[in-house]
Structure 1
Amino acid sequence: MNKLVILSSFIILQACAQKTWHGDLNHLGKFPNNLSEVSGIAIYNDHLIWVIEDNGNKDDIYAVNHQAIMVKSLDVKDAENKDWEDLTTDKEGNLYIGDFGNNGNYRKDLSIYKLPNPEREKGNKIPSDKITFHYPEQKKFPPKKSRLIYDAEAFFHWDGHLYIFTKDRSRPYLGKTLVYRIPDKKGNHKAKLVGTINLCNDQDHCSVTGADISEDGKTIALIGYGYLYLGKDFNIDIISETKFDSIYLKHETQIESVCFLDNTTILIADEQSKTKGRNLYSYTIK
């Protein structure tokens, strides 16, 4: 074997031995190929993590373990995945699917599906109730480019209500996140605007793609590509006054999902984008 072959083999072995860089995130596992577009995650206990995918994918919810290995899937009855963007739970064990992805701001059929606790389902299907809503401030479908502020990819449940965080797609970029509230009951609701947040003016990092609130209700977590935003000491009814700490995760991928594992540990997932993503991570709040 000549020296060139030996050197090439050594370089290849060294490259394979290097650990993939995930910044400040703790890499837990890689989702299977058929879960390449995870857009929402939620958890009930320290065992199973429930995930969904966004538009163009099945009307299913999936359970994975903490290594991102799929355990089972459930078909959601009476539901259609027009653009499922986030998951959240309430203290009674219900699971909510946010079907409110609205890239072009043209949808008039925004909805949230309310499911019973999926961990109690013994078959391969689960029933759902449909909650529909609209933003009363939106008058045109779609609005002007300067008013493309009615997309949403994030929400959480708190005290009988669902709080929806919009994703700014305006041109020029406003950096504006609207926070709306609707009841967690089946019906057609007019969303109430409870506040506006401006995390920063960088579209690549400050558009909200996931949200959750800690079980003790003391911390709000918002996620963007490469950044985590934590809000503490807040009043949910005047959320505009909340100060959010910006945390650079040192890992910029298409991060779409966030949820609290406990009051100080966060789970994060990203979508596949070319050769990056499709991973499950954890992050400890310092």
Structure 2
Amino acid sequence: MRNILMVFVLALLPLLGISQDISKLTNLSDDIAETSGLVFFDNRLITHNDSGGMNALYEINTETGNISRTVTIQNATNVDWEDICTDNDHIYIGDFGNNNGNRTNLKIYKVRKTDYLGSEQVSAELIEFSYEDQNDFTSSPNNTNFDAEALISFGSDLYIFTKNWVDQRTNIYRLPKTSGSYVAEKIDDFDSEGLVTGGTFNPLANKVVLSGYSGIRAFAIELRGFSNGKFSNGVIDKYNLNIPLTASFQTEGVTYSDVSSFYISSEKNALGSAALYSLVSNTLGIDDFNLIQNEVYPNPAGEMLTIVGTIDLDRIEIYDYLGKKVYEDSLANKNIDISEFSKGVYILKLYAGNRTSSVKFLKE
């Protein structure tokens, strides 16, 4: 009780800084209080519960938060369902929650959309996997980098974004969409500075949006301008989300509904009820803080690195590729002398209000 009281006190402090407003639509039914993933298609918003929940998908009435339809996956077990995504033909359900880091039965259930739309009892194909870089399966509760809660469909593959309890980063693994047993290939990672809990790829806007939280702060991360099979080589924008104190900050699911609109869900916890929110992408300030790669030049850079734009920055930081901070300027000088930097890849982090942008650059 003392710890819970302390969290309530911290929640009231103004030290959390400026947050990004999102709109609360409704509380969620107690039957989906453990909502963990979201997907939207055929004008239906669909969720599921996490560990210990039923092997079922639930359609949500976005006005009341009640369940309007339930579809059971007959040949599935909900060990710890953590996210859901779709492509043109299938629904993919990630049973890969792994808080202890010791699971050896990680899997993704694959359901035909036509089956889902036509029946309330369906069967799934199975994609089983392990992580290519995990060798130790000792149980370590909330102290592992092999937990995962975010799954997206991108092109011909599935991508898992991990929830790293140890280093607060997210690792990105690739899997094929065909049924079978695989070793998930680690293809990328970046510093999420918090626990990633959900993900969606919006093909209409060509961006990935991730949900998550750090302490009692909920956040969203946008990845855009990425290329060459990586997700971190474009711009990474992070925003605090202004969750009301009467609702849970523990955001879990995120999905796009059109080119600029997203749904976000939070599961019930000691601080508040499970809830459903809407977020419109143009509120994230793309127009007034458009720090894309060609506005940080030259890249590759030699002696100087210049930031173009009229937005006022609060702070600039540069990290080497091992994560060590090698430069910081609270005056936010937009002409940076990097002549003494060693050759290699660096990450430039720009701070303005509640927003952070990260861009990679090469020092020649």
Q: 2:142 and 2:52 mapped to 1: Cα distance? A: 28
Shift of 1:48: 1.6
The 3 A distance-change label for structure 1 pair 145 and 113 is closer
Q: 2:20 and 2:190 mapped to 1: Cα distance? A: 27
Aligned counterpart for 2:126 among listed residues 124, 130, 144:
130
Q: After TM superposition, what 4+ stretches of structure 1 lie above 3 angstroms from structure 2? A: 118-123, 143-147
Aligned 8 A contact 2:147 2:163 in 1: yes
Q: 1:270 and 1:126 mapped to 2: Cα distance? A: 27
Please say if 1:227 is aligned against 2:219. yes
Q: Amino acid of the residue matched to residue 132 of structure 1? A: E
Aligned counterpart for 1:177 among listed residues 159, 170, 185:
170
Find the counterpart in structure 2 of residue 214 from structure 1: 202
Secondary structure in 2 matching 1:245: strand
Find the counterpart in structure 2 of residue 63 from structure 1: 59
Q: 1:257 and 1:113 mapped to 2: Cα distance? A: 17
The superposition leaves residues 215-263 of structure 1 with CA deviations (integer Å, 9 ceiling, x where unpaired) of 2361110111211111111126122323311111122711001011112
TM-score when normalising by structure 2: 0.66
Please say if 1:282 is aligned against 2:278. yes
The 3 A distance-change label for structure 1 pair 145 and 77 is closer
The number of aligned residues is: 255
Pair member with larger Rg:
2
Q: 2:239 and 2:228 mapped to 1: Cα distance? A: 21
Aligned 8 A contact 1:76 1:125 in 2: yes
> Any residues of structure 2 matched to 1:1-286 within 5 Å, and which?
24-45=21-42, 47-67=43-63, 68-92=65-89, 94-117=90-113, 120-142=116-138, 148-170=144-166, 174-200=167-193, 206-216=194-204, 218-225=206-213, 226-235=218-227, 237-251=229-243, 253-286=249-282
Q: Amino acid of the residue matched to residue 157 of structure 1? A: S
Q: 1:211 and 1:269 mapped to 2: Cα distance? A: 12
Q: 1:192 and 1:223 mapped to 2: Cα distance? A: 23
The higher relative CO (CA closer than 8 Å, separation ≥ 6) is in 1
Q: 1:160 and 1:34 mapped to 2: Cα distance? A: 34
The 3 A distance-change label for structure 1 pair 275 and 140 is closer
Q: Amino acid of the residue matched to residue 203 of structure 2? A: E
**Percent identical:** 27
Q: 2:267 and 2:47 mapped to 1: Cα distance? A: 12
The superposition leaves residues 57-92 of structure 1 with CA deviations (integer Å, 9 ceiling, x where unpaired) of 111111112222211101101100000000100022
Structure 1: any 5+ residue segments left out of the alignment?
A: 1-21, 201-205
Specify which structure has the higher proportion of strand.
Answer: 2
Shift of 1:142: 2.5
The 3 A distance-change label for structure 1 pair 125 and 193 is same
Q: 2:252 and 2:211 mapped to 1: Cα distance? A: 7
Q: Amino acid of the residue matched to residue 270 of structure 2? A: K
Aligned 8 A contact 1:254 1:277 in 2: no
Q: 1:187 and 1:145 mapped to 2: Cα distance? A: 29
